[in-house]
Amino acid sequence: MCRSTATRTVTVANPEGLHLRAAMLIAEVARRHQADVKMTKGLDCVDAKSVLQVMSLGAYEGEELLLEAEGPGAETVIEELAQLFARHFRHEQQHTEQE
């Protein structure tokens, strides 16, 4: 059986780069899915489910990162992460308790 895969290139647009809060949000989104999620900057590839590994990339404003996911929900997690980057890691009310 073939495993689902998805990739996307994103640009770090926020002036603070991948600071702690951004790394925590990335890991939180990645952990909600079964797919293996990797982030690559240059030659460095890290597990997106690990806050410390994401921060170790040292990604700054304007740098491009490759997002890769493999496994169940790969396309979904890549889309969610891409939207997180597009929002500059700002919170949006995605799910409310009243729904």
CA distance 68 to 6: 6
Is 25 contained in some domain? Answer: yes
How does residue 89 score in pLDDT terms, banded at 50, 70 and 90?
A: confident
Helix orientation angle between 74-86 and 20-31, rounded to the nearest 10 degrees? 160
CA distance 91 to 41: 24
- Closest by alpha carbon to 11, among 57, 46, 63, 54? 63
- Residue 91 pLDDT > 90: no
- Whichever domain contains 74, its CATH number is 3.30.1340.10
What is the domain count for the chain? 1
Indicate the pTM of the whole model.
Answer: 0.86
Range of the domain at 22: 5-86
- Closest by alpha carbon to 90, among 39, 22, 8? 22
How does residue 92 score in pLDDT terms, banded at 50, 70 and 90?
A: low
Residue-level pLDDT at 45: 97
What tokens appear for 41 in the block?
Answer: 């900057």
